[in-house]
Amino acid sequence: MVRPRLKDVAELAGVSIKTVSNVVNDYPHVSEETRARVEAAIAELSYRPNLSARSLRAGRSGVVALAVPDLDNPYFAELATNVIEAADRRGWTVLIDQTQGDRAKERVVISGIRDHLIDGLLFSPLALTGKDLAGRDERTPMVLLGERIGTGRSPYDHVGIDNVAAARAATLHLAERGRRRIAAIGVQRTAVAATGRLRLKGYRQALAEAGVPADPSLVAPVARWGRADGAEAMSRLLDSGAPDAVFCFNDTLALGALRTLLKRGYEVPGDVMVMGFDDIQDGRFATPTLSTVAPDKALIAQSAVDLLAERLGGGTDKAHEVCVPHRLAFRESTDLPGIT
């Protein structure tokens, strides 16, 4: 079977080869009617662009890297899926690496030793400092995900969410349902745990706004943000005086907390309401289903890929700061009959 060519698509769609190329490369200045005709012709002929030849002409590999702390964390696994889907729409292949939040491994990621393999880097660091980034060779474009690093102006594009506002909204949700002993699970006693500090700040802001006394004994530290950590932290909270609600800094902590509450005979949400963060799929199938903060992971991924594409296309030197919206997903773990 003869592989269809760009010329064949152009003839079927009744347009020039250049117009087909513009559609394939997703250039914006093509009318919707023309784009639809070309896409219909591409589908009818099962045309596939020769990505290898295109990459060689552009002096690029067509490969980008995504580095995240932990693929065992469902949030990062789901984010990686969204990044792959967004990159695929541009004809890119994604290499995935995990750093486990280790500074040495994160420094390797930005060191440039893999730059001959990739066109650009999407990176969610936990342990890097502003000093680490200042010494980076900037030949390979990079977009940062998650928390901002340092307090000064960064030369790198950044995509994240407002963790303070999101945690504040989640905690207020519990207070508005009449809860007064609202615990928090997820603070970490390390210098690099920026996300936890921001979510703790939002939690405290909400308590003050709702007129709920801040009780330090209701803040449960953890070593990691896993299910076992959430279960153990919930057990400690129950031993020291049961809360009537708990805000967990991610959903895996919340799933662990739910398990402990079930084992010890507490009803959720009747005795203790539980609120998570991240809206991972597991929370929608928990018993009870988990109320949570839902960041727009698809938009985080798309925004990061778009920024990287702009850099690869020779875009502006000005670093972009993108704050992606979030919403609260209300489910059974905070849903009591008669409370709206």
For residue range 7-60, what is the model confidence (pLDDT) as tens digits? Answer: 888 899 999 888 888 887 766 678 888 888 988 888 888 887 665 555 544 556
How many domains, the chain? 3
Peptide bond into 337 cis (omega under 30): no
175 and 287 inside one domain: yes
Q: What are phi and psi of 243, to 5 degrees?
A: -75, 165
Q: Map tokens 């893999």 to a residue.
A: 114
97 and 171, same domain (yes or no): no
Res. 214 pLDDT band, cuts 50 70 90 = very high
The answer to whether position 107 is within a domain reads yes
Residues 88 and 167 in one domain: no
Is the distance from CB of 253 to CB of 233 less than 8 angstroms?
A: yes
Proportion of the chain above pLDDT 90, given as a percent: 58
Q: Is the pLDDT of residue 338 over 60?
A: no
Domain identity same for 210 and 150: no
Residue 173 has pLDDT above 90, yes or no: yes
Domain membership flag for residue 303: yes
Same-domain status, 288 and 312: no
pLDDT score of 340 more than 50: no
Does position 122 have pLDDT exceeding 90, yes or no? yes
Residues 158-163, mean pLDDT to the nearest whole number: 95
Smallest Cα–Cα separation from 87: which of 75, 97, 96, 98?
96
> Sorting pLDDT into bands at 50, 70 and 90, what band is 137?
low
pTM: 0.80
Flag whether 45 is in a domain.
Answer: no
Residue 56 is predicted with a pLDDT of 47
Residue 31 covered by a domain: yes
> Does 141 or 2 have the greater pLDDT score?
141
DSSP 3-state of 318? coil
Query: Omega into 288 within 30° of 0, i.e. cis?
Result: yes
Q: pLDDT of 274-295, one tens digit each?
A: 999 999 999 999 999 999 999 9
Question: Is the domain of 151 the same as that of 184?
Answer: no
* 163 vs 312: which has the higher pLDDT: 163
Q: What's the mean pLDDT in 298-326?
A: 90
Q: Within this chain, do residues 10 and 102 fall inside the same structural domain, yes or no?
A: no
pLDDT tens digits for range 222-248:
999 999 999 999 999 999 988 999 999
Do 73 and 153 belong together in one domain? yes
Q: Which range of residues forms the domain containing residue 192?
A: 163-295+328-334
- Give the pLDDT confidence score for residue 151 in this predicted structure: 58
Q: Kindly state whether residue 49 falls inside one of the protein's structural domains.
A: no
Tell which residue, 331, 163, 148, 182, has the closest CA to residue 249. 163
CATH number at residue 136: 3.40.50.2300
Q: 46: which residues sit within 8 A by CB, 6+ positions away?
A: 4
Average pLDDT of every residue of the chain: 88
Distance CA 204, CA 136 (A): 36
Residue 152's pLDDT is 58
